[in-house]
Amino acid sequence: MFPRLIRTKLLFILPLPLFLPTLKFSSHTQRLIHQEKFLTKEAFTKLLKSCASNSFQLKQIHGLLVTSGLSIKNGLITHLLTNFIALGDLSYARQLFDEMHKPRTFLWNTLIRGYVRNDLHNEAASIYKQMHLLGVRPDAFTFPFVIKACTELIELRAAGSTAHAQVVKYGLDFVAEVRTELMIMYVKLGELGFADFLFRTMVEKDLVAWNAFIAACAQNGCGIKALSLFREMGSSGIQPDAVTLVSALSACGQLGCSDIGEEVYDIAREEGIDCNIIVDNARLDMHVKCGNIEVATKLFDEIRHRNIISWSTMIVGYAINGESGKALSLFSRMQRDGLRPNHVTYLGVLSACSHAGLVSQGWRYFNRMSQSNDDNIKPRIEHYACMVDLLGRSGRLEEAYNFIRAMPIEPDSGVWGALLGACAKIQNLELGQLAADRLFELAPDVASYHVLMSNMYASAGRWDFVNKLRQRMRKKGVRKIAAYSSVEFNGDFHVFYGGDRSHPQSEIIYEKLDSLFKQMKSMGYNSKTNSVYHDVELEEKEVMLSTHSEKLAIAFALINVGPEHPIRVVKNLRICDDCHTFSKFVSKISLRDIIMRDKIRFHHFRNGVCSCKDFW
């Protein structure tokens, strides 16, 4: 055998084909190989370009690089690394990276970006930490993806503040891309004031910056702020594009204000972008989320070039608005038209079955996904959660639990949360406790799971367990989300909390409520005090129920919204049994349609009847 150094030198001058007897390349690549006489950097560059989309061939080229001695050339390894990242093979990319000698900042950035784009946020944060410990100086291309990784995972958000401090340390806080990601991070953290501060110190606020801030607010439950920014952007003279309008329409859907949404769409007409399918779909989605299902149906029929998003939006819309039959019928029509459903379409179909208690149909659609099918779609975790919800709502708790135990993928908090919700509805304490125990491990900071379990104990009169659970919440700093309801009137949003007396019209709102309760009681209304989960006297429970946020919002709307318009209320949590009954009575007394959107679905109250048929 030659000494290693001599052997390596000989490899550099030996003909390339001698090293390829076992390599299986495409005929095009084989021709390219045989055109090259010797192993050179240029020859490998051509090979890498030719095999960029084939992971197996790239690994063969890597082996060839090692035997040739050219693997010490970081440029070629960089080329390989970027190819593997583009293919999503982050494991092999990391192996290549770890073998490199003093990789440049560019390569650290490339790996961090690859992790983030493949939703491997912990790995991205870890590689940045390693980069920091080794003293590699980050640049303006490092931080946007590091901050994005910290934003996406709750457990990493504290690290986001540290990253911000390092941004300032390296003098990169005025780089537009860095500042934009910081702004989005603070919106997701609920720190709108700080996000707004970052936006106001921007030297140049161009369309991209406005769009980023408006979209971040719209996508993270800050619809009022998103619309405020949209109006401010218009006043500043910057013309919106399709991205701006989609975000604004999304905010309108979130807030349940279709009138403002139509004003936004008028701007789309003025700007000549109203025939854009993305904008049309956003308008359709906005009306669906405002409960305007008849309007949405008309818009859907008018869209000339519907795509799968249009169909899926309409199917989901029918499902959450209590029109399960129409949702399933539209799904069949879509298939007859030759369109292939996607994951969202199937989610809408399963949701339609869940909201109507159609267990056998739900199983049929789910099994179609699970088995080989023409659509080539496999169930995701959210489809499993939907099936648990369907079985649980229908009272099949044991079947739901066994379904979870047989899942081929690890159940997440959404799956166990669906089981807990069903247990709360049917008051199955034993199975509910089992689900809650898993949830307290998977999502210890989510207040709603603690509250659900606490309410189950309260309904069973187990006040000792209620107190223990509430003490645990206080100890861990888990805070219950305050329930509120909102009504849009004349472009302003009126928000009400339970027992709220801060509104300028409070006096007449409470007078209106008193009048309504008198009429309702004469018609047979009795308050459902089982909706109050506090160990207090019956009379106090009735008082607490009488001032729930939904009731205050409905009373306000009856006073202010003209009879030609339906009453629209958006509730941030699930509507309680008593407020549901109250809304049915009020719709009959006032001869007004009431559209209530809660966390789960829409309730359309008309003449004393709800679209959910009391199944929700």
Check residue 544 and give its pLDDT: 82
C-alpha angle 504-508-510 in degrees, rounded to nearest 5: 100
- Give φ, ψ of 446 to 5 degrees: -85, 115
**Total structural domains within the chain:** 4
Q: Show which of 101, 132, 159 is a domain's final residue.
A: 101
Same domain for 548 and 522?
Answer: yes
577 alpha-carbon distance from chain centroid: 28
Question: Position 402: which residue type?
Answer: N
Kindly tell me if the per-residue pLDDT of 2 is higher than 50: no
Same domain, 477 and 493: no
Does 567 map to a domain?
yes
Phi and psi, residue 71, nearest 5°: -65, -15
Which tens digit of pLDDT belongs to each residue from 516-532? 999 999 999 998 877 76
Same-domain status, 467 and 520: no
Average pLDDT over residues 161-171: 86
Tell me what percent of the residues of the chain surpass a pLDDT of 90: 51
154-163, 255-264, 516-525: range with lowest mean pLDDT: 154-163
Helix 105-117 and helix 90-99, axial crossing angle in degrees, nearest 10: 160
- Looking only at Cα atoms, what is the longest distance across the chain? 104
Please give the Cα distance from 229 to 206 (Å, whole number). Answer: 13
Q: Do both 471 and 504 map to the same domain?
A: no
Region 224-235: mean pLDDT is 93
Worst-scoring range by mean pLDDT, 11-20, 58-67, 167-176, 229-238?
Answer: 11-20
Strands (E), 281-427: none
pLDDT tens digits along 270-300: 888 877 899 999 999 999 999 999 999 999 9
User: Does residue 144 lie within any of the structural domains?
Assistant: no
* Per-residue model confidence as pLDDT tens digits over 434-487: 999 999 999 888 899 999 999 899 888 899 999 999 998 998 888 888 999 999
Domain of residue 209, CATH code: 1.25.40.10
Flag whether pLDDT at 164 surpasses 70: yes
- The last residue of one of the domains, among 305, 325, 351, is 305
The model's pTM is 0.81
Which of 421, 446, 481 terminates a domain? The answer is: 481
Q: In this predicted model, what pLDDT tens digit does every residue of 492-505 receive, in sequence order?
A: 899 999 998 999 99
Is residue 459 assigned to a domain?
yes
Query: Torsion-angle region of residue 197: left (phi > 0), alpha (psi -120 to 50) or beta?
Result: alpha
Tell me the helices (H) and strands (E) count for the chain, helix number first: 32, 6
> Residue 571 in 3-state DSSP?
strand
Domain residue limits at 278: 205-305
- Shared domain check, 593 and 505: yes
Q: Which residues of 46-76 are buried (b: 16+ CB within 10 A; e: fewer)?
A: ebbebbbebeebbebbbebbeebbbbeeeeb
Residues 68 and 96 in one domain: yes
Q: Which of 114-118, 122-126, 158-162 has the lowest mean pLDDT?
A: 158-162
Q: Number of C-alpha atoms within 13 angstroms, CB side, residue 462?
A: 14
- Do 447 and 552 fall within a single domain? no
Q: Is residue 121 part of a domain?
A: no
Q: Are 297 and 287 in contact (CB under 8 A)?
A: no
Is it the case that residue 338 has pLDDT exceeding 50? yes
